[in-house]
Structure 1
Amino acid sequence: MTLPQPSAGGAPITRLLILLAAVVLLGAVGTGAVLHAADRSGRKDQEQAGGPRITPGAVALTADGGRRLLFRSTAWGPHRDEITAVPADRPDGPRTASGVKCLRFHAAAGTGICLQGEQDGLTDRYSAVVLDPALHELKRYPAAGIPTRARVSPSGHLAAWTVFVSGDSYAGTDFSTRTSIVDTRGWELRDNLEAFTVLDGGRPLQAPDINVWGVTFADDNGFYATVATGGRTYLVRGDLAARTLTTLHQNVECPSLSPDGTRVAYKKRVAGASPDAPWRLYVLDLATMTETATAEQRNIDDQALWADGHTLLYALAGDYGADLWTVPADGTGTPAVLTRSALAPAYPGG
């Protein structure tokens, strides 16, 4: 390479030296970032300093030994992403790790649904796995995309899951979902709820952009979910036997039915919020369609769980994946941390 000849002020050489220095600096920064990311990834297999105590053991979807809380543990260490159990009255206590890894999880009445992912070369593959009371696999179904929501009916007879077929966030409009429901009594599979008839004002709604997600069960036939079309979202009541989805209320996403079946907790898009953080946690009275804002004012991108008839449980981003928080469902009180490094909770024994 021939260097430029010096001029009166030496400007070409000066500019070249500055350019070379910048290239070297950027290279060093890039290498440092890669090494930092690799170091952080490697440390995920090491126990988290100051993190929860986790030991392997038997985890079951029954109420034997008292009510328990199960969730995906996101604490760094050898049991990261495994379903773990703690006593419901000691959620921050020692965890028992099951050895079963799930991206999303829910359980009720002895049935679990575990959404899993694995790498096959350069390709990510996902599955929906139905689990028995001992967390053993009963049935496995291929999932069409990235797992995002999972629910089991109160009886344990039905399991539902939602995946992103394209896109990976509900925040925008450029995404597509696939929601499925399986009946564990005969393994009848409704592979795509978009095939159901959407009824709006009693009339079938014909639209090419319908998406369905976030099932929450009332019983073994009725359920609630979100339908999106035309840039709007709706709470719908689903009927498995009739294969219908009936619109009830606008601006409802990821509903969660209360234990008594009278209210739905959900995330609502609020005016003036950031496009990247648009949701707040609300509760809807199904009899009056009255909305109540909870005291949680941060962005909620989760399907909340009713810990009991008065308290909502949900995940927020934390230092090690996510933390579980609670807030009263009636709009009073303040949010409180339930346990750190946890996601996808369930009270399988009721």
Structure 2
Amino acid sequence: MLLSDFDFELDDELIALRPAAKRDFSRLLYVDPNQNEIKDYIFHDLPSLLRAGDVLVFNNSKTIRAQLDGIRHARDENSKDVAINVNLHKNTAPDVWRAFCKPAKRLHQGDRIVFSPELSAIVLEKDDGGDIALQFSKAGDELLHAIDGIGHMPLPPYIGLKRAVDEKDESDYQTTYAAIEGSVATPTAGLHFTTEILDELRNIGVETHFLTLHVGAGTFLPVKSENISEHKMHSEYFEISEETANALNKAKGEGRRVICVGTTSLRSIESALDESGHVTAVKKETDIFLHPGKQVRFVDALISNFHLPKSTLLMLMSAFAGIDEVKAAYQHAIKNKYRFFSYGDAGLWIKKVI
């Protein structure tokens, strides 16, 4: 398929720059391609759309303050200090992160960037497009603590270019159940859940289980190949515990629905399947690319926000619910003024049975 098959027009007014006043007061579009149904709800209606025995799978990765401001000091008396903006996107060693840096052209291998009196980093290598490997002066939990003290929440570019990050984003751009630090972009389908709605779901017999996928900033990188099959996905680290794997396999064996909260949860599960189609307990990287022509084998339904045109996430949605059905649902959402992208509204998508 072609990249142009996944394009659509969206007015700027529909790009959400802030979340709903209350997390579960966002809108929820119910889409069942098998029954040709598209219905409008509010997110707190979700318990009425699920049933006892359903299994919700959440990504409990916690977003770090991955946007840093630093100084590359003058190399000699003929040069000047340069302000450097750093967006961390992948942790590759206890003291090393890949990062997108601006202005990258002012950085050379071996340069030191100073972020605070306690934290600095050396440029280990520099690739095209401003992608740089940084070796920090701290490592592991000590490094994460230092980043947390000086960094800013890494809002997506389509928000960050229109307004500054502020104190509200510290809580708004984090799920209520986030637990394990490592993401540099929030798994945003989970932003709609409150502790109250989670309690209500459990009270009606819906199971909740957690896995961890650390979202990288590569999720925002554009697809450049017109033939989408030529696109190379970025890789991300994920973990599924023995307990979660067993619970998911038990549910499927009993004919119960497995519903992923977010594309990250779905990609993790589909990356962990063995040859017999069972979920395995794993700790590894995934670069799985799901698009029309690729089958989603395990997951029955998906809760997900509305995604960018021409994005790999929109391609995943099309593989899951059908490209024509996704186009129709998106046009319905646009016509009815749904709010799009990370701080926007959500959909509950039923997998298309082929």
Report if TM-score (shorter chain) is over 0.5: no
Structure whose CA Rg is larger = 1
- Normalising by structure 2, report the TM-score: 0.25
Q: Which has the higher contact order (CA 8 A, sep 6+)?
A: 2
Q: Which has the higher strand share?
A: 1
- Normalising by structure 1, report the TM-score: 0.25
